[in-house]
Structure 1
Amino acid sequence: MKQLFKKREKKKEKRTKTYLQISTVFYSLFSIFYSLCSFSQETETDSTKVTQLKEVVLTSVRAKEKDPITFTNISKEEIAKRNLGQDIPVLLNYQPSVVTTTDAGNGVGYTYMRVRGSDGSRINVTLNGVPFNDSESQGSFFVNLPDFASSIQSAQLQRGVGTSTNGAGAFGASLNVETKSFQEEAYAEIANSAGSFGTRKHTLAFGTGLHNNFEINGRLSQIASDGFIDRASTNMFGYFLNANYVKENTLIKFLAFGGKEKTYQAWYGLEDEEKLENDRTYNLAGLYFDENGNEQFYDNETDNYWQNHFQLHWSEKWNSKWNSNVALHYTIGKGYFEQYKEDEDLLEYNLPDFNGITTSDLVRKRWLDNDFFGATANFNYDNKKTNFQIGGAVNRYLGKHYGEVVNTQFYVPGANRYYDNFGNKDDINIYGKISQELTNKINVFADLQYRMVFYQADSYKFENDVNDTFRFFNPKVGLNYQLNTKNMFYGYFGIANKEPRRDDYENGSTKSERLKDFELGWKYNSKKVKVNTNAFFMDYTNQLVLTGALNDVGSPIFTNSGKSYRVGLEVDAQIEITDKLFFQPNVTLSQNKNKDFFFQRDGELTNLGDTNIAFSPDVIAGGNITFLPLKKLQVSLLSKYVGKQYMGNIDSEESTLDAYFINDLNVNYEWNINKGIKSIIFSGLVNNIFNIEYESNGYFYTYDDDSTGNVITYEGAGYYPQAGINFLAGMTLKF
C-alpha cells in the first residue's frame, strides 16, 4: 500500500509539473503574440467588426471552405423548420452518412446518432469550442439539454478525423455547435407545438438588443411526451442565458444553460418476436411479477438527471490579422436511475437479512455525480494567404458513482451505499494549424496535435483499479487544388488516437485505439448546382466495435477487434431545378470490415475471416425535395434509406436489422403582420408518412450452454421499434 501511495504521489507531482509547463507555454505564447501585434485600428464598419467577432469563437474547431476537410454546415434556419420537440440527433438525420435512433420511438428523450457507422462515443461534440462529450462514457447526451436546438446559431458536422478540436478524439465525426450570440435588436418569441403520443413543446425566448455595449438574451423551454413505446414518457425543462459585452474589437460573453429530465426507461428493447409482430410498443423496463404470478410494472423505473453548463468567453480582434479567444467553462451534473429488482441477495447490497430471510425484492438508485471544468484558448493569424492557429485546452473531470437501496419488501434501509466508486480524468491538448495558399490554385493544410490523458478510477466491476496515462500525437495534412471557378479537388490524411471508456475497462478492453484516415474529394460549385464527392478509407488498429450486447444497465458493450477498416464513397448535392423547386440528395456507399475476426463458438475459437462491423450499413441515402409555391410557404419531402445492418460482428443472420426507407413531410408558412406582432410562423411535420414498420437499433448476444456435456453456443437478439405515421404541429409568434 505504501509503494502504491508513493507511486500515486509521484504521478501527481508529474501531473502538477505538466500543468505548470502547459500554463507557462500558453502564457509565453500570449505574451509574445501580444507584443508582436500592431494595435493600429483599421477603418472597418461596425457590422463588419460584429461579424468577425462572432467568428473568432469558432476559428479553432471549424473547417473553412479551402480546408481539405469533409464537412457540412447546418444553419439555424434549417434546424428551425423541424424544431418541434424532437432532439438534435433526429434533426440531423438527413445529413450525409448519418443514422439516428431513439429509445422511445418518436425522437423525444434519449436519442442517438451514428456517422459512417461510428456511434456517439466516437463523435467529438463541442459547444462553442468547449467539450460536451461525457469524459468517462465519451457519449453525448442531448437529453440533458432539452430544446437546445432553439439556441443554436449554426453547426458543422465534419466526417472522419477532421481538424483538431478539444475533448475526446474524433473517430467517426465531429459536431461543432455555435450557440446564439448577441442580437443587435430586441426581440421576443413564443413557440408552442403539440402532436402524437402526447408530445408538446413550449418555448419562450427573448433578447434585449444591444444597448450601451451590453445585451442579454435567453430561453425557457418545457418538453414532454408519452412516447411511442409503452410508459416511455419524458418530462424535460431547459434554459439558456447569454449575457454579452461588445465594444469595437472586444466580445465578452457569459453563458449559462442546461436542463433537467425525467424519463421512463426504454433501454431494453424488445426480444419477443411475437410481440415485435403484434405488440410493438411493449416495454420490458420495470417488469416484475406479483405473488400470484401476474405481470406488473414498477411505476417509477425512471432516469433522473440535471446538468448545468457555464461558459465565459473573451474574444478579441487585435488588428486586421490577429485575433484570439480564451474560454473558461464549468459543468455540473447529478442524477440517478431508479430500478425495481426481484429476488435480490441482500448481502450483495451490504444489507442485513430479515428474520433469516436473505433475499428480497428491492428498489435501488444508481447515482452519477460529476464536475467538469477547464480552460480553452486559441490565437489566430490571417493575412488572406496564410491562416495560422495555435491553441489547446486543459480540462479536469471528477466523477462519483454510487448505489443506494431505498426500499425492500421487509424494511426501509437507512443510509447505505452498496458501492461507492470514482473516476477522475485530466485531459490536456495543444495544437497548431496552418492553411497556406501557395498559388491562386493550390492551398496546403497541416494540423499537429499533442494530447495527454490521465485517468484514475475504481469500480466493483474492475479486475484492478485504473491508473493510466495516455500520450497521443495526432497529425493531419492535406491539399486543395482549385482547378477553376467551379471545380476544386482535395486530399487529406489524418491520424487519431483514442483512450478506452470506463465501460471498456469494466469489460476488459483496455487498449487505446488508432485510426488512419485517408480522404479524397471533389467539389463542384455552379450557380444552380453544387456537388460534393468524397472517397474515404479509415484504417483502424484495436478499434472498439460494438458487440451488439448490452450490459446490466442497458448500455452497449464494445470489444477490441484488432485490425478493421471502413472504405466508402459519399456524394451530396444541392440542385436548383427551378426558382421554386430544389433537390438535396446524398448517398453513402461503403464496406466496413473486421479483419480475421475470432469468435468462440461451441467451445472452439474460430477465425471467421473478414466480417462486417456491427451497425455499419453498406448503403445510407437521404433526400430533401423542397417546393416554394408561395413566397412564404415551403413544403419539403424528406427521405431516408438505411441498408441492412448486422448488430454483431460474426455475420449471423440472427443479428440483422432489415433495411428501411422512411419519408417525412415538413410544411412551413410565415405570415408577416408588423403590427405589434412581427410575424407568425406555422410549422407542420408528418413523420413516416407511409406508416412503415421498422427498427432502427437493436442488440445481439450469444451464450454457451454445456448442460449436455457439449458446449453449444446460442444466439439471441432484441430490437427497438420506431413509430409509424405521427405528426407535430407548431406556431411561433415573433415580436
Structure 2
Amino acid sequence: MKKLLGTMAAILMAATVFAQVTITGTVLNEQQQPLDGATVTLQVNGKKQNSIATGKDGHFEFTNILTGANCIVQVQYIGLAAKEQSFTATANTNFQLVLSASPFLLEPLEVKSIRASDKAPFTKTDITKQQLAKLNTGQDIPFLLNQTPSVVVNSDAGNGIGYTGIRIRGTDATRINVTLNGIPYNDAESHSTYFVDLPDFASSVNSIQVQRGVGTSTNGSGAFGATINMSTNEFNELPYAESNNGAGSFNTFKNTIKVGSGLLNNHFTIDARVSRITSDGYVDRAASNLHSFYFSPAYTSKNTSIRLNVFSGKEKTYQSWYGLPEALLTTNRTYNAAGTEKAGEPYNNQTDNYQQDHYQLFFNQVLNNRLKLNIASFLTRGKGYYEEYKAEQDFAKYGLGNYVINNDTLTATDLVRQRWLSNYFYGQTFSLQYKHLVDEITFGGSWSTYEGKHYGQIIWANAGIPKDYEYYRYPATKTDVNFYAKWLRQLSTQWNVFGDLQYRRVVHDMQGFEGNADLAIKRSFNFFNPKAGISYYKNGWHLYASYALAHREPNRDDFQAALSEQPKFETLHDVELGIDKKTATYNWAATFYFMNYNNQLVLTGKINDVGSYTRINVPSSYRTGIELQGGVVFAKWINATANLTLSSNKIKAFNEYIDNYDEDYIQKTVAHSNTNIAFAPAVIGGAALNITPCKNAEISVMGKYVGRQYMDNTQNSARQLNSYLVQDIRCVYSLKNIVFKQWDFIVQVNNLFNKMYAPNGYTYPYYYGGQLINDNYYYPMAGTNFMATVNIKF
C-alpha cells in the first residue's frame, strides 16, 4: 500500500523541466470569417491532451508543448467538415485553419444531448475507440473500465468473462445509469445491468463517457452514483475489414470479424460485426459460451441522417453465483456449489441462458444553422431462463398435493426447474438542440414501456409432477416518462454557467411475486431533478462546481411486502467541486464530492411479512471523498498516469436483524451508528506506466489497489473483504503494410504476481448454539492468467 501511494504521489507531483513551445492559430470558414466556438483538440504522441473553444476572433493557443513531440491539432465546428493538422513541435508555430462545408451530418446528436460537454461542470472520464482497442482482449465492459477513477470490478467466474459487476464510488450497477446511444439499458424492474448480454459489445463502441456522481440528466433509471454512456453510431467514410482473434488461460477464445462498406453512392454506409467468446472460467464449471452480432446501415446527407442498429447477444453460462464458502478460501478456491444438489456428479446443465435483441432507429435533422433535432425509437426483446437441479422439494411448494404410488405417500421429490423471464422494452427518445453564439440549449426526454413475464416450469421430476408443469406466472409492467431542459451559457471567454431541469414519472404495476402470488402492487412516482453549476477555463486551467438532486424508485424485490411496509423512494443531493490543469507534458485533477442520501435502501437482515429478506430505507447516509488524477510525459517514449480516491461512506444509524435459530427463528435486533456502507472501500487507486521502447511497440504496466470492504453495513471485521493490490502488464506491437494493412499483436498478463484476492462476496450471520455465526461467501479472482490477440486490418 505504501509503495503504491508513494508511486502515485511521485507521478502526480513530479516536477518536469523540458524545452517547450507554444502553438497558436485561427479557425476560419471558407469566407475567411473567424469561427467562434470551434472545438480545437491537441493530441501529443497519440494521446489527447486538451480541448479548447475558440473565441470570437477564432483564436486558440496551446502552451508548454514538449519539443520534439509528434502533435495533431483537430478542429470541429457544427455543419463544417472537421480538419486535422499534423506537425512536430520544434518551434513556436501559428496555424490558419480553414474549414469547408461538410457534405454529411456526422454528429451523434442522440449522444450529445445527454453527455457532459467539456464545458459542463460535472465529473467525467472519456474513453476513446483507440483506447478501447488496446483494452479489448475478451473481458467484459466493466473490466475495460477498471483503471478509471473510483472503479472496482468483480467476476463470478473469476476471469472477467461471463457475469461481471462494477461499482463506482461504492455504488453498484443497479445505481449506475447505463445507456447505449442514449437509449436506456438498465433492466427496468431490477435496475441491474447485465453486461453478459452484450458480449464483445466493446468492438462496436467508438466512445464511452463515465460520469461520476449524479451527472447530467439522462434517459432511464436515475443515476445514483454514476452514468456510463456508450456510443456506437460512428460514420466510417472509407471501407474497412478487420479480424480479431485471441486465446488465453482457462481455454478462453475470442473471435471477431468487423466490416464496413465505407460511403456508398455518396450517402449510404453499412457496418457489421460478428463475435464469439468462449471460456471455461477460473471457477469450476464456470464456463461461458457467448455469441453476438451488430448490424448498422445508415443514410447521411448534409442535413439529415437515418441509422438503424440491430444487435444481439446470446449467452449460456454455467452458474457460478453461489460463491465460495470461507472454509475453502485457502484450500479449494475454485469450488463451485452449483449443481451439487444432484447425487454423484454435479448436474451438467445448471446453466443460465438468455438472448437479448436490440432494435434502434435514429433520425437526426439539422433544421437551420442553430437548431438540430434527434428522434430515436427502440425495442429491446429479452427472453431466457436459468435451469437448476433441486433435491427433496416439497410438492406443496409448487402448488401440488402429495403424490401417492402403490399405497406410499410421497411429500417431496427431486426435480429440474427453469425460471423464465420474457420481456419487451420499447419507447422513444428525442432532443432538440440549439446553439448560437454564447448559448447551448437542449430540450429532450423519453418515454418507455416495459412488459415482463416471470414464470417457472418443471421440466423433469422423479415422481408426481408432469413435464413442463408451470408453477408460477407473474406479469409486470412499468412505464417511464421524462423531460429535461439544459442550458449552457458562456458568460465570458473563461466563465460558463449550466442549468438542468428534469421531470420524471414512473409507474409500476406488478401482479404477484414468487411465494406471494396474490400480492398485487401498483405504485407511481413523480420526480423533479434540478442541477446547476459553474465552470472556469483559462490557460489550461479548469475549475467547476455543481449541485444535483436525484431521486430513484425502489426495484421489484423491494416492493414484495405488505402495503403497510412498502418502501419509500430514495433521494440524493450531490455536490461536486473540481479543479484540473492540462498541458502537453503533464496534467492533474482533483475532485471533491459529497453525496448525501435520504431514505437510501439497504439490506439490514430484516425479514418482511412474506418471509423475504428485504431492503429498508435508512433516513440518513452519505458518501464523501476526493478523487485525484494525474499524468506526466517524462519523454517522448515514456509517460505515466495515476488516480487515487480517498473516501468516507457512512450510514448514520440503522438496526440490524439477525436470525436466531435457538429461539424459533425469532430475529434479534442490534442497533448500529456511524458504520461503513457495504462494498465502499475508503481507498481506491490505479496507476499505469507506458513505455514505447521502439516505433511500433508499447508496454504498459498497470496497478490497481482496493482497500478493505465490508460485506454488510455493520462494519464487522469478521464480515470483510481484505484489501488487495494487483498488477497487470500489456504489450502491443504493430506492423503495417506487410501482406495486410496492419497487424496488432496484444499480449496481456493479468494478476502478474499471482495475488489471491476476492473483490466481492456476501455474508449471512445467525445465532446458533448460543453463538453468533458469520457465514461468509466469496467470489475469488484468478491468479496469474493471460490473453493474447492478433488483430488484422485488411
Q: Could you tell me the TM-score, scaled by structure 1's length?
A: 0.90
Name 1:478's counterpart in structure 2: 533
- Secondary structure of the residue that 1:538 maps to in structure 2? strand
Give me the whole-angstrom Cα distance separating, in 1, the residues matched to 2:103 and 2:332.
Answer: 56
Counterpart for residue 9 of structure 1 = none
* Equivalent position SS for 2:139: coil
* 1:525/1:169 CA distance change after superposition, 3 Å: same
Name the SS of the counterpart of 2:138 in structure 1.
coil
Structure 1 stretches (4+) deviating beyond 6 angstroms? 548-551
2:210 is the counterpart of 1:210: no
Q: Deviations over 1:277-333 (max 9, x none)?
A: 11100001111253xxxx531111000000000000011222332112100000000
Matched with 1:21 is: none
Distance 2:103 2:600 in 1: 44
Gap change, CA 1:215 and 1:547, over 3 Å in 2: farther
412-421 vs 216-225, greater mean Cα deviation: 412-421
Flag the 1:556–1:113 CA change in 2: closer, same or farther, 3 A.
Answer: farther
The answer to whether 1:656 aligns with 2:706 is no
Tell me, what secondary structure is at the counterpart of 2:519? coil
- Secondary structure at the aligned position of 2:174 is classed as helix
| 1:439-469 C-alpha deviation (Å, 9 max, x unpaired) | 2222110000000001000213458311000
- The residue aligned with 1:380 is 433
**Paired residue secondary structure (2:410):** coil
Kept in 2: contact 1:461–1:506 (CA 8 A): no
Q: In structure 2, how many angstroms separate the alpha carbons of the residues matched to 1:52 and 1:648?
A: 51
* Contact persistence 2:110–2:376 (CA under 8 A): no
Tell me how far apart the structure 2 counterparts of residues 400 and 153 of structure 1 sit (CA, whole Å).
Answer: 34
1:417 alignment counterpart:
470
CA distance in 1, matches of 2:80, 2:194: 41
**1:702 — aligned with what?**
765
| Contact kept? 1:548, 1:614, Cα under 8 Å | no
CA 464–347 in structure 1, closer or farther in 2 if over 3 Å, else same = closer
Alpha carbons of structure 1 residues 124 and 585: separation in structure 2 relative to 1, 3 Å: same
Distance apart, 1:423 and its partner CA: 1.5
Mapping for residues 424-463 of structure 1, pairs under 5 Å = 424-457=477-510, 458-462=512-516
In 2, Cα distance between the equivalents of 1:490 and 1:642? 28
Q: Which residue does 2:276 correspond to in 1?
A: 222
Choose from 560, 563, 571 the match for 1:506.
560
1:395 is matched with which residue? 448
8 A Cα contact 1:548 1:648, kept in partner: no
Is the CA contact 2:427–2:447 (under 8 Å) kept in the aligned structure 1? yes
The Cα shift of 1:253 comes to 0.3
Partner AA of 1:685 in structure 2: Q
| 1:728 maps onto 2:787 in alignment | yes
* CA separation of 1:44 and 1:487: change in aligned 2, threshold 3 A: closer
Cα distance between partner residues in 2 of 1:571 and 1:203: 36
Checking the alignment, whether the CA contact within 8 Å between 1:260 and 1:306 is kept in structure 2 is yes
From 305, 310, 314, give the equivalent of 1:260: 314
Paired position in structure 2 for 1:716: 775
TM-score, normalization: structure 2? 0.83
Q: Is the 8 A contact 2:108 2:233 kept in 1?
A: no
Deviations 1:666-689 (A, max 9, x none): 1111100165x1111111110000
3-state SS of the aligned residue for 1:595?
strand
Identify if the C-alpha distance between structure 1 residues 547 and 662 changes in structure 2 by more than 3 Å, giving closer, same or farther: farther
Q: Which moved more, 1:507-516 or 1:355-364?
A: 507-516
Partners of 1:145 and 1:512 lie apart in 2 by: 30
Q: For residues 659 and 550 of structure 1, what CA distance do their matches in structure 2 show?
A: 31
Are the structure 2 counterparts of residues 600 and 45 from structure 1 closer, same or farther at C-alpha, using a change threshold of 3 Å?
Answer: closer
What value does the CA root-mean-square deviation take over the aligned residues?
2.1
Q: Which residue of 2 aligns with 1:20?
A: none
Contact 1:637 1:664 in 2 (8 A): yes
Q: Quick check: 1:515 aligned with 2:572? A: yes
Q: Which of 681, 693, 706 lines up with 2:744 in the alignment?
A: 681
For the pair 1:326 / 2:375, whether they are aligned, the reply is: yes
Give the counterpart letter for 1:492 in structure 2. S
Write the distance in 2 (CA, Å) between the matches of 1:604 and 1:357: 36
Question: What is the SS of the residue equivalent to 2:108?
Answer: helix
1:84 aligned residue: 137
Q: Indicate which of 691, 695, 701 corresponds to 1:631.
A: 695
Shift of 1:111: 0.5
Structure 1: how far apart are the matches of 2:515 and 2:617? 18
Equivalent positions of 1:142-291 (< 5 A) are 142-212=195-265, 213-273=267-327, 275-288=328-341, 290=343
Alignment size in residue pairs: 681
Change in CA separation of 1:143 and 1:548 when aligned onto 2, cut-off 3 Å = farther
Unpaired segments ≥5 residues, structure 2? 1-76, 84-100, 661-666
Change (3 A) 1:550 1:51: farther
Question: Offset at 1:714?
Answer: 3.3
Q: Structure 1 residues 309 and 50 mapped into 2: Cα distance closer, same or farther (>3 Å)?
A: farther
Give the residue type in structure 2 aligned to 1:680.
W
Q: Distance in 1 between matches of 2:485 and 2:707?
A: 39
Deviation at 1:43, TM superposition (A): 8.1
Q: Which amino acid aligns with 2:297?
A: A
**In the alignment, residue 618 of structure 1 is paired with which amino acid?**
A
Aligned to 1:102: 155
1:13 is matched with none
Whether the 8 Å CA contact 2:274–2:294 is kept in 1: the answer is yes
**Deviation of residue 351 (structure 1)?**
3.9
CA 1:71–1:217 in structure 2 vs 1: closer, same or farther (change >3 Å)? same
Aligned to 1:33: none
C-alpha separation in 2, matches of 1:680 and 1:80 = 13
Q: What is the one-letter code of the residue matched to 2:535?
A: N
Report the secondary structure of 1:693's partner residue: coil
Distance in 1 separating the partners of 2:743 and 2:78: 41
The residue identity in structure 2 corresponding to 1:695 is A
Superposition deviation, residue 103 in structure 1 = 0.2
Paired residues for 1:340-355 under 5 Å = 340-351=389-400, 353-355=403-405
C-alpha distance in structure 1 between counterparts of 2:433 and 2:467, whole Å: 57
Alignment CA distance shift 1:269-1:187 (3 Å): same
Q: Does 1:123 align with 2:176?
A: yes
Q: CA deviation at 1:412?
A: 6.2
The structure richer in strand per residue is 2
How is 1:519-668 mapped onto 2 (pairs within 5 angstroms)?
Answer: 519-546=576-603, 558-600=615-657, 605-668=669-732
SS at 2:653's partner residue? Answer: coil
Mapped to 2, the partners of 1:544 and 1:277 lie a distance apart of 34
Secondary structure of the corresponding residue to residue 214 of structure 2 = coil
Q: Which residue of 1 aligns with 2:524?
A: 469
Pair 42,362 (structure 1): closer, same or farther in 2 beyond 3 Å:
closer
Quote the offset at 1:606 in angstroms. Answer: 3.5
Q: CA offsets per residue over residues 551-581 of structure 1, 9 Å max, x none?
A: 9xxx996442221000100011222111111
CA-to-aligned-CA distance 1:677-731 (integer Å, 9 cap, x gap) = 11111111100000000001000122344x77xxx65322111110000000010
Partner deviation per Cα, 1:398-417 (whole Å, 9 max, x = no partner): 00000011111136614421
Contact 2:181 2:233 in 1 (8 A): no
Note if contact 1:260-1:305 (Cα within 8 Å) is conserved in structure 2: yes
Alpha-carbon spacing, 1:151–1:548, altered in 2? closer, same or farther (3 Å): farther
Q: Does 1:302 align with 2:344?
A: no
Distance 2:614 2:334 in 1: 25
SS in 1 for 2:557: helix
Deviations 1:648-677 (A, max 9, x none): 1111111100000001111111100165x1
Name the structure 2 match of 1:17: none
Distance 1:536 1:344 in 2: 50
State whether residues 306 and 333 of structure 1, in contact with CA within 8 Å, keep that contact through their aligned partners in structure 2.
Answer: yes
Cα contact 1:49–1:248 (8 A) shared by 2: yes
